[in-house]
Amino acid sequence: MKKVITYGTYDLLHVGHINLLRRAKELGDYLIVGLSTDEFNAGKHKQAYYSYEDRKVILEAVKYVDEVIPEENWEQKIDDVVKNNVDVFVMGDDWKGKFDFLKDYCEVVYLPRTVGVSTTKTKTDLHG
């Protein structure tokens, strides 16, 4: 079985998230999502609209997602890849080059983002 992993906050789930998850799942048989915890987001000076628990329930309902694990810090990615026998690490191409250190452990793929769609844009549009 070919395992794929990706990470993110996945707040205010939108078509861009679904496109990324679908395309990530197409690269393997089993998709793991490292979901940023509320504490990790706070450390990044980010605040999700939905709690970690709610975002986890929402992601687990997406047909492309096989497993959701907590993302608690930047440094855990190597351990997650090794512990879960991951074959492919996937992120949006706005992170291009930032995770190349994982190439020693698995294939690293940067997927293009869906143009014109982001959680930040959604929040901005809602607040005018």
56 is catalytic: no
- Give the active site residue among 2, 25, 46, 96: 46
**Single-letter code of the amino acid located at 29:** D
98 is catalytic: no
Strands laid side by side in the 107-111 sheet: 67-71, 30-36, 3-8, 88-92, 107-111
Tokens encoding 101: 């250190």
Query: 35, 32, 30: which is closest to 11 by C-alpha?
Result: 35
- Give the active site residue among 2, 44, 121, 123: 44
Which residues are marked as active site?
A: 44, 46
